[in-house]
Structure 1
């Protein structure tokens, strides 16, 4: 396994600045992961403010129950024992619970959390445990109900669990029927190429599915199967047991809601002054909380002293909402702006692992942390990889282009190669032909128009039809060239579909079972041996 770093710039200026130019964003974030003093200061702050968080023992008790059910590795039990000790800190990170764990980036995020916890523990000489926050409370079913794979025809295929007339309940509370699981498993069996690993992987997945009522359950069991041995603790944000502990936090968010709204707006204004559009919506009068009513997760807004959803389904005074948070915390849920606050009230978060987009929207929360008497944890970029199979490596070497060149100019590179194979320059020749036709035809049309006006219009229409026919012949000629070089162009297509499916990075599209099937069930363990990197740097793995 050969590792190559590529200078692939982040699409998010805040994520790039977090590592390469921290002084430019120091007012938005607490500290830099590249500064030793930031780690020391954050650890000291957490130890001094231990009493401000939810009771440790009560939290660990809830996490034990959840992990015994989905992630029962002895290493996880050891990590939970450590978490009970007041000197232990946490590296966290999370993701939505996608079908079969969703895109590869989920795997890379878990790897980063584990490795960052190891490094922090070594550097600070204190116990630091990794925790993966499963966002089971999210309700956008269409964002999580699918997984993508590359089929033998080099098409990107989607496996999807469809729900008709689905209400906006949390994914963690949305049941998946046995027939729906069977259909998804059969589609996966049909899509995965035959390999020596395929049947074993399908059996593992079938076992996880058989014990899962929801996507979140299956997600947790798979993550436990792969990462439990590394002591990765799982936390499900939709866990009703956890909600009981969160009651007092929801109460504080409601009491301080107006102050929080001002804080989010202030941070958004700071970003706009720097010419940066806020990554998350800071809506007017937003409470930044959801209320679950009859299976619907309703976003709350403030109107004339009351908390209401946009459809007018519920309407509660502040006092009524506070009482609800005390009696029925399971009816409440965070949005992207309050989830960081909840995480910090539950866990002694030394640092949290984020993708580029998440780093950008966390910039909106700095002032809100202060309102809650908190301090933002250190933000750590998720490690980023592209797996480059041998065939792809050979094709790229044969046609002489790099990963970065392909990322930026693939279509142009492909067309340049195809054009170089033409016996005649098709586009040039047809452009010349159209120019000659227009040059000869235009004076004739003008002469005919001087005889009778109607002939000028007929001549223009006739010229248009002739030029259309020239274009038609040009397109047919281009198709003939494509057909003539079909075998080679499939090699180009393999490169594109392998590295940049749907014009995106591989890690944002393809599911991990693609690579487990190709390289074996120990592939994740081999990835865990790669060196940890705190910089925003994309790495190519020549498999």
Structure 2
């Protein structure tokens, strides 16, 4: 296995400067994973504030009930038993669900959670449980309903499930039919290349959806398959058993809503004052809460003493909102800015694994944590990888390309390579011809202009048409050279499709299922052996498997 660090594409971003320990940025968060003292300080704070959180016994009961719906592994059961211990802490990382496991970055985040928990447990000498928080309350179905794979022809194909007609409910509340699951599996089977692992893969996915689950539950079952043997515990934020425990925190978010908004605005000023742009600007008057309604999941805003949605579907007084926290807390849910606060109320969060965008918007949350008597957990940058397949490594060697060049300068390198294949110096010859033609044509232009001034524009037009035809012949000649090297150019395209599919990072496009099909379940398991970096960063991984 060969692992090397790769330079970040945006070294001045808030997330990257935090990752590298820039003190100006670290002030926004208060702690840093590279500081051993911060880990002990955070653990001590959590020990002192146990009484201000939800009952861990009841939370554990809810998690055990949810875990019973997933594939069972002794290691995840052991993690749940650890949660019952009074000195237990958790490392959390979360994501919206993804069809058939979603993009690689989700796999990497779960891996980061597990490795961070293992490292923290060793560091502190006490139980630390890895927990993956599935944002099942999110209603953006189009973010969750697809996965990208590479077909046998080499093209990128998107397999998806269309959202059922009706209101935009939370993903975990969106019912899917057996026909929809069958169609998605059939499409995946049609697009995935045939390999020795394909049939078992499809059968395992089929086993997860026999009872027509929500997309979130099917996703949780797959993550349990991938990481249950490493002790990962799964949580759905929209689990009604958990919602029943969140009422007191919803109450605080409602009663202190104006102070919450002011704290978020203060946090924005802290970020702007350090010269960074806001990841997502808060909206004036937003309650930063959602209401689950028959019309869908509605974002609430404040209108004097009432909580309303923009379309006028609902209007609740503060008293009515507080009644919901007592009677039906499952009708309420957090947004991206209040979810971290709710997470800290439910769990003893030692650290949270975050991607770059998440780190950027967490930058404004310091004052909000303080407002609610909380302290921000240690924020752990998600590990990011580029997987270098053996066949692509051979192509890089063939064309003398570095990984950095393949990722950032491939078009120019490809053009330079193609130009070297031109043994006739076609571009140079045509440039010379065009220059000589212009010189020869100039006297004619002067002569016809003298004969009749009106002919000047005709002479220019005639010259340009001739030059256009010369250029056309040049382009056809270059195309002919390219056609002679069609096989090689397809290899350049394969390099692009591997590193920058759809002009995006590999981990944001290809689904884990694509590599599972290509290299089998052993490939998934081997990631546990990749060394852990508590400050994340972008790394190239080569030689993870001997299968080619």
1:233 aligned onto 2:213: no
1:419 aligned onto 2:426: no
Q: Provide the rounded CA distance (Å) in 2 between the counterparts of 1:207 and 1:300.
A: 39
1:335 aligned onto 2:335: yes
Q: Provide the rounded CA distance (Å) in 1 between the counterparts of 2:286 and 2:251.
A: 16
Q: Provide the rounded CA distance (Å) in 2 between the counterparts of 1:12 and 1:356.
A: 12
TM-score, normalising length from structure 2?
0.95
Paired residues of 1:71 and 1:234 also in contact (CA < 8 A)? no
Q: Provide the rounded CA distance (Å) in 1 between the counterparts of 2:233 and 2:353.
A: 14
Q: Provide the rounded CA distance (Å) in 2 between the counterparts of 1:226 and 1:62.
A: 22
Quote how far apart the aligned CAs of 1:437 are.
4.2
- Deviation digits for residues 386-428 of structure 1 (CA, Å, limit 9, x no counterpart): 2211111111011111111211101111111011101234444
Q: Within 5 A, what are the aligned runs for 1:78-227? A: 78-163=78-163, 165=165, 167-227=167-227
Out of 306-315 and 252-261, give the one that drifted further: 306-315
Paired residues of 2:380 and 2:536 also in contact (CA < 8 A)? no
Corresponding residue number in structure 1 for 2:311: 311
Corresponding residue number in structure 2 for 1:248: 248
Corresponding residue number in structure 1 for 2:525: 525
Runs of 5+ consecutive residues of structure 2 not aligned to the other structure: 544-548
Corresponding residue number in structure 1 for 2:293: 293
Quote how far apart the aligned CAs of 1:479 are.
2.1
Corresponding residue number in structure 2 for 1:498: 498
Q: Provide the rounded CA distance (Å) in 2 between the counterparts of 1:123 and 1:229.
A: 22
Corresponding residue number in structure 1 for 2:73: 73
1:365 aligned onto 2:365: yes
Structure-2 change in CA distance of 1:350 and 1:442 (3 Å): farther
Work out the number of aligned pairs and report it.
543
- Deviation digits for residues 147-193 of structure 1 (CA, Å, limit 9, x no counterpart): 11112222111111123655321111112221221121112112222
Corresponding residue number in structure 2 for 1:58: 58
Runs of 5+ consecutive residues of structure 1 not aligned to the other structure: none
Corresponding residue number in structure 1 for 2:36: 36
- Deviation digits for residues 274-294 of structure 1 (CA, Å, limit 9, x no counterpart): 221111221111111111221
Q: Provide the rounded CA distance (Å) in 1 between the counterparts of 2:44 and 2:267.
A: 26
Q: Provide the rounded CA distance (Å) in 2 between the counterparts of 1:450 and 1:247.
A: 91
Q: Provide the rounded CA distance (Å) in 1 between the counterparts of 2:143 and 2:498.
A: 22
Paired residues of 1:50 and 1:86 also in contact (CA < 8 A)? no
Paired residues of 2:24 and 2:274 also in contact (CA < 8 A)? no
Quote how far apart the aligned CAs of 1:475 are.
2.8
Quote how far apart the aligned CAs of 1:301 are.
1.6
Q: Provide the rounded CA distance (Å) in 2 between the counterparts of 1:418 and 1:464.
A: 28
Quote how far apart the aligned CAs of 1:326 are.
2.4
Quote how far apart the aligned CAs of 1:431 are.
4.1
Q: Provide the rounded CA distance (Å) in 2 between the counterparts of 1:350 and 1:344.
A: 9
Paired residues of 2:101 and 2:513 also in contact (CA < 8 A)? no
Quote how far apart the aligned CAs of 1:130 are.
0.5
Corresponding residue number in structure 1 for 2:374: 374
Q: Within 5 A, what are the aligned runs for 1:476-515? A: 476-515=476-515
Structure-2 change in CA distance of 1:430 and 1:306 (3 Å): farther
Corresponding residue number in structure 1 for 2:546: none
Superposition CA RMSD, Å: 1.9
Paired residues of 2:389 and 2:542 also in contact (CA < 8 A)? yes
Quote how far apart the aligned CAs of 1:18 are.
1.6
Out of 40-49 and 270-279, give the one that drifted further: 270-279
Structure-2 change in CA distance of 1:257 and 1:422 (3 Å): same
Out of 487-496 and 34-43, give the one that drifted further: 487-496
Structure-2 change in CA distance of 1:452 and 1:131 (3 Å): same
Q: Secondary structure at the match of 2:209?
A: helix
Q: Provide the rounded CA distance (Å) in 2 between the counterparts of 1:435 and 1:309.
A: 67
Paired residues of 1:290 and 1:297 also in contact (CA < 8 A)? yes
Q: Secondary structure at the match of 2:68?
A: helix
Paired residues of 2:21 and 2:32 also in contact (CA < 8 A)? no
Quote how far apart the aligned CAs of 1:535 are.
2.7
Q: Provide the rounded CA distance (Å) in 2 between the counterparts of 1:341 and 1:450.
A: 83
